[in-house]
Structure 1
Amino acid sequence: MLNIADMLYRWCREARPFALATVVQVSGSAPLPPGTALAVSTDGEAVGSISGGCVEGAVYDLCRQVLESGEPPVRARFGYSDDAFAVGLTCGGELEVLAQRIDPADRPHLTTALEDVLAGLPVAVAQVVDGPRHLLGRILSVLGGGNAYDGTLGSQRADRAVATQVRGLLRAGRTACVEVGGDDGTCPDRLTLLVHTHAAPPRMLIFGAVDFAAALSQAGRFLGYRVTVCDARPVFATPARFPYADEVVVDWPHRYLEATEVDARTALCVLTHDAKFDIPLLRLALGLPVGYVGAMGSRRTHEHRLERLRETGVPDEHLARLRSPIGLDLGAHTPEETAISITAEIIAHTNNGTGLPLSRVPGPLHGSVPVPRIPSSAALLST
């Protein structure tokens, strides 16, 4: 639902009831992942998408039905259809949707969570998608800055158990299902909750204030990264040269990397291809728990770089993480084309893609999109 947070927040502020249809399960080739939502207001206005168009009409009608009747949340499954006049997915996959009526006056914590999303703050919304009918659609929001959570699942122990698990997902920026209840003592009924996360944007650290960095910072920002350009040369590292970067830092690259925060979603792009910058920087970077490390340079430069890194004691398992020459083989020449080549490799690496043309990849076009499930655990309550 957080993909349409701006409109939902407006409706909540206006106290306008709306119906929310959320993709809760996907199998086979389906266009959009779990957590994607479509909403319909009382005056028939629709926002969002759950299938890229295949079953939007049917889901819209389902939302109007739930909205007007006030009936409890309902689940509906849509599968493959090759009939032009039938309701179904032409891509061959299946998706399951939960449709529910939302009355903002009854869920002030949802308004607060949406406001935090729009303010860029980390927040997660856990939505009951499977369980007893009277609990279906219940929402618990968890703030990223501490132990605060809002809303209830009807049991304080269940609230605490879910909030504990959700914080881990929020730190990782992951969407997943959380299970509580049953025999773990948190609540009598087993519940499955789909956790929608809005984490802080991932970081892209670009080292080297060159023309390629200017194009890459623009591409990185377009993809939703918080972009930093770092270079030790103040004459080149200026905000005017990198208007799309969130920050431009004048410092030795390795010294800046030592002092800044990184995580498993961080992408490091080394564009200097200058040994006095690259070697100390890559020696440090390859030992950090970051998502991607790439370095620009020719194959000859790369071989010399590997020799120097081995001489400094970098083990082979760390060297294997280095993407160099950086980027995919797109035949790129200009800085803009090179930026696309680099970001394409980052996307493929992040999503375990092959980097091959889709025409050469067998199987479903979008691939199966299972939602990771985190089992319940009473031990989590003690953390």
Structure 2
Amino acid sequence: MTHEFKEIIESYTIARQQGIPAVMATVVDVEGSSYRRPGVGMLILKNGVSKGAVSGGCVEKEVFRQAQSVFETGIPKIMTYDGKYRLGCEGVLYILIETFDIDEKVIAVIQRQLATRAPFEITSLYHKKEQSTIDMGSIVRFKTGQEFPFSNTLDFETISHQTLLESFQRKMQPCFRLVIIGTEHDAVQLCQLASATGWEIEIIGSPKNPKRLNEFPGASKVYNLSPEDLKISHVDHQTAIILMTHNFAKDLLYLQAIKEYAPIYIGLLGPARRREKLLTAFIEYYPEIRDEFLEAIHGPAGLNLGAETPQEIAISIIAEILSVCRNQNPIPLQQKDGAIHDDHKRKSRHVFSPKT
């Protein structure tokens, strides 16, 4: 969800420059099933424009209607949406709606933190009973110790004396990033589709045939680097790398270039025989390579979906990366026991203690 928060910050920055007031709606709790999990947010502007979503589209009109009182009073409110009676779903959503009003300095700090790919937390404080009250709101907290409320109406001192507040905390990981090494037509398709998921896409091309950013819709960066010059910053477990140069020797050299990194996924394009040949040659050069590095390699990249076209192959690769990141064994949802979404949220009844 970090990429959604990043997009909300970008949209809010533009709105603030234009003098357009904004409120934020956040799903802080769900009873039963829902289209999306708690933690999703939706920025609503006074001019009727919105960014993000709290459901599949069925709840947003009601959220917009309820947000009007927050625009008028500045007082946060909690609203409930019972899907059982309105949609035939089983879930009841609890949505916190609050003013979103942060200044340019705070925006700059948030953008710098996002750029460093450092995890952070957002804590939302609320009363589960449907009401409007000034002691509800959300706070962003970074590992540096910096913390900022969504709205300057949130009074830390008042909140510190509350004993009946619900607290919903979510840990926000860095935006997921896909590094594509290769610049052929299928790399463009993978870039476009992966970007549509909200991933940050970086393209690595050869300096002998340099590429420009506008040739890869959805990419944030394009580098034209030889294997010996390749350096990828902030490689973490929110980073996947796929080798798709369509050249065995180049793939081998780039694989050697990333051997010290620890991405969660490394994809190799091509059949299993090519993978075995590539890994055999690689291990001959580096017999002491870490087991963790080899275990991250997936080849042929992608799930067995019967994919044939470059677009379908890209979908199968994205699906496999998601299954690896979420530690899932892909099966049809109709065969899954229990809820569609595993409950990762951490919620407790306690007093939020701001730093002093």
Of the three residues 303, 306, 310, the one matched with 1:335 is 310
Give 1:31 shift: 1.3
- Segments of structure 1 that go 5 or more residues without pairing to the other structure are 159-180, 182-186
Question: In structure 1, what is the equivalent of residue 91 of structure 2?
Answer: 93
**Partner SS for 2:125:** strand
Matching residue of 2:125: 129
Task: Determine the structure 2 residue equivalent to 1:295.
Answer: 268
Aligned residues: 335
Matches within 5 A, 1:236-315: 236-239=209-212, 242-244=215-217, 245-253=219-227, 255-257=229-231, 260-272=233-245, 274-279=247-252, 281-282=254-255, 285=258, 288-311=261-284, 312-315=287-290
Q: Report the 3-state secondary structure (helix = DSSP H, G, I; strand = E; otherwise coil) of the residue aligned with 2:97.
A: strand
Q: CA deviation at 1:328?
A: 1.6
Q: Within 1, Cα distance between the matches of 2:261 and 2:243? A: 15
What does residue 208 of structure 1 align with?
Answer: 182
Aligned positions of 1:57-136 closer than 5 A? 58-64=62-68, 70=73, 73-81=76-84, 86-87=85-86, 89-100=87-98, 102=99, 107=101, 109=102, 113=106, 126=122, 128-130=124-126, 136=135
* Cα 1:29/1:352, change in 2 over 3 Å: farther
Instruction: Tell me how far apart the structure 2 counterparts of residues 302 and 63 of structure 1 sit (CA, whole Å).
Output: 54
Q: Which secondary structure state, in structure 2, belongs to the residue aligned with residue 129 of structure 1?
A: strand
Once residues 286 and 72 of structure 1 are traced to their aligned partners in structure 2, the CA distance between those partners, rounded to angstroms, is 53
Moved more, 8-17 or 213-222: 8-17
Tell me, in whole angstroms, the C-alpha distance in 2 between the residues paired with 1:34 and 1:209.
Answer: 38
Give the AA of the match of 2:126. Answer: D
Determine the C-alpha separation between the residues in 1 that align with 2:14 and 2:170: 22
What are the Cα deviations for residues 280-329 of structure 1, in whole angstroms up to 9, with x where unaligned? 54356465332221111211112223333444223444322211111122
Supply the AA of the counterpart residue of 1:130: Y
Question: What do residues 7-47 of structure 1 show as CA deviations (whole Å, max 9, x unaligned)?
Answer: 6556656666666432112354311233334566678x473
Closer, same or farther in 2 for the Cα pair 1:77/1:354, shift >3 Å? Answer: farther
1:269 Cα deviation from its structure 2 partner: 0.3
Report the Cα distance in structure 1 between the residues aligned to 2:214 and 2:94, rounded to whole angstroms: 47
Q: Map Cα deviations across residues 217-247 of structure 1 (whole Å, 9 max, x no partner).
A: 333333334433324x434343289443444
| Aligned residue number for residue 174 of structure 1 | none
Deviation at 1:72, TM superposition (A): 5.2
User: Are 1:36 and 1:50, in contact at CA under 8 Å, matched by a contact in 2?
Assistant: yes
Q: Structure 1 residues 94 and 336, CA, compared in 2 at 3 Å: closer, same or farther?
A: same
Distance (Å, rounded) in 2 between the aligned partners of 1:374 and 1:313: 47
Q: 1:139 to 1:279 in 2, by over 3 A?
A: same
The residue type paired with residue 67 of structure 2 is C
SS at match of 1:205: strand
Q: Alpha-carbon deviation of 1:5?
A: 4.8
User: Please, what TM-score do these two structures have when normalized by structure 1?
Assistant: 0.66
Superposition deviation, residue 256 in structure 1: 0.6
Could you tell me how far apart the structure 1 residues matched to 2:349 and 2:303 are? 38
Q: Is the 8 A contact 2:168 2:346 kept in 1?
A: no
Matches within 5 A, 1:126-165: 126=122, 128-130=124-126, 136-141=135-140, 148-151=146-149, 154=155
C-alpha root-mean-square deviation of aligned residues, in Å? 4.6
Equivalent residue runs for 1:357-372 within 5 Å: 357-364=332-339, 366-372=340-346
Cα gap change, 1:317 to 1:5, in 2 (>3 Å): closer
1:32 paired with 2:36, answer yes
Q: What letter corresponds to residue 318 of structure 2 in structure 1?
A: T
Once the two structures are TM-superposed, the CA of residue 267 in structure 1 deviates from its matched residue by 1.3
Q: What amino acid does structure 1 have at the position aligned with 2:234?
A: E
- Contact in 2 for aligned 1:121/1:198 (Cα 8 Å): no
Partners of 1:260 and 1:64 in 2: CA distance: 43
Once structures 1 and 2 are overlaid, which stretch shifts more, 215-224 or 32-41? 32-41
TM-score w.r.t. the length of structure 2 is: 0.70
Amino-acid identity (%)? 23
SS at match of 1:33: coil
Output the amino acid matched with 2:135: L
- Deviation (angstroms), 1:348: 2.9
- CA gap of 1:13–1:33, structure 2 versus 1, over 3 A, is farther
How is 1:163-182 mapped onto 2 (pairs within 5 angstroms)? none
The secondary structure found in structure 2 opposite 1:63 is: helix
Conservation of the 8 A alpha-carbon contact between 2:169 and 2:347 = no
Classify 1:7/1:323 alpha carbon distance in 2 versus 1 (closer, same or farther; 3 Å). Answer: closer
Q: Distance in 2 between matches of 1:237 and 1:278?
A: 17
- 1:218 corresponds in structure 2 to 192
- Where does residue 318 of structure 1 map in the other structure? 293
